[in-house]
Amino acid sequence: MRGKNSLLMMLLLMVATVIFVRCDSDEDSDLDNMNDDMENAGDDETEYQADISVLKDLFYHTDAVTFTFDDEWVTITSKDLPDHVSVYYDESDPLYEDYTKEDDSDFIKNPNTIGEQNNVFKIPRYPSEASVKESTSGGAIGVTINSVSFFNQEAAPGDDILDELKTFDQYEGHPAGTQYHYHNEPVWLTKFRDNADNEALVGLLLDGFPVYGTHEDGVQMTNNDLDDYHGHFGVTDEFPEGIYHYHITDDLPWINGDGYYGTAGTVTN
C-alpha cells in the first residue's frame, strides 16, 4: 500500500507541476502580450507624424521654386517670380500686363517692380505644435506652390493694409522693394490657373503646416471655422491621417491669425 500511495503522490506532484508550469508560462505570455500592447500603444501615439516631404511635387513652378529635404528639414528655395501676369513685372518681361481694375477705379500702382529673389525657407519636415506660439513678423512667413512669399496681415510699418489692398495687382499680389508677395487669397492658385482648385494646397508656412484654399468639402471656410492661428486639424488629400492646416478666408486675417501654430523654421532673403 505504501508503494501505491507514494506512486499516487508522485503522480499528483507531476500533475501539479505540469499545471504550475503551464499556468506560469500562460502568465508569462500574458505579460508578454501586455508589454507588446503597451509598446504598441506607445508607438501609436508617437508613430504618426505628418511628413510634409510628400508635398514636393505640388510645388509646380519648378523654374522658380525647388524643394529638397533631409531627415529633419524641408528646404525650399524660391525666386519669388509668379507664373502669372502682373502689372508689376518690368514692361520688357513677357509676363508684364497693363492693369486697371474694371470694377474698382481705386487701383494705385506702387513704384516697385518684381525682381528675382533668393529666398531660402528651412522648414521642419515633421511639423509639431509649439508650446509657446510665436507671432509672425514682417517679410516672408511662408511660400506658395508657385514660388511666391506669403506675408502676414500687417502692412509695412506706417501703412494700413486696407489701403495697400488698392495696390494689389490682377492676382492680388504686389512687390515690397522687389519682393513679390501675397497677403490674402492667391486667386491665381484658387481660381484662375489651369487646374485651379479652391480646396487644394496653396503653400506652406514656416512652421511646416500646410495652407489650403478657401473651401473644404465644397463649403467655404470662414474665420469661425478656424482657431486663433487660422487653422484646424483635419484630413486632407495629401494627409489622409489628418494634419493641422491653415485655410485662406475672405476676411482678415486671410492666411494666418495670431502667429505660427507650430515651431517655425527660418527664412533668409
| Binding interface with Zn ion (CB under 5 A) | 216, 234
- Which of 61/181 has CB closer to Zn ion? 181
Q: Is the peptide bond before 253 cis (omega within 30 degrees of 0)?
A: yes
* Contact between residue 182 and residue 172 where contact means Cβ atoms under 8 Å apart: yes
Nearest distance, CB of residue 96 and Zn ion, angstroms: 20
Nearest distance, CB of residue 149 and Zn ion, angstroms: 9
Nearest distance, CB of residue 23 and Zn ion, angstroms: 53
Three-state SS string over the chain comes to: CHHHHHHHHHHHHHHHHHHHHHHHHHHHHHHHHHHHHHHHHHHHHHHCCCCHHHHHHHCCCCCCEEEEECCCEEEEEECCCCCCCECCCCCCCCCECCCCCCCCCCCCCCCCCCCCCCEEEEEECCCCECCCCCCCCCCCCEEECCCCEECCCCCCCCCCHHHHHHHCCCCCEEEECCEEEECCCCHHHHHHCCCCCCCCEEEEECCCCEEECCEECCEECCHHHCCCCCEEEECCCCCCCCEEEEECCCCCCCCCCCCCCECCCEEEC
- Which of 23/156 has CB closer to Zn ion? 156
Nearest distance, CB of residue 218 and Zn ion, angstroms: 12
- Which of 64/201 has CB closer to Zn ion? 201
- Which of 73/239 has CB closer to Zn ion? 239
Nearest distance, CB of residue 164 and Zn ion, angstroms: 6
Nearest distance, CB of residue 88 and Zn ion, angstroms: 11
- Which of 185/216 has CB closer to Zn ion? 216
Rounded to 5 degrees, φ, ψ at 223 are: -60, -30
Nearest distance, CB of residue 176 and Zn ion, angstroms: 5
- Which of 73/186 has CB closer to Zn ion? 186
- Which of 207/216 has CB closer to Zn ion? 216
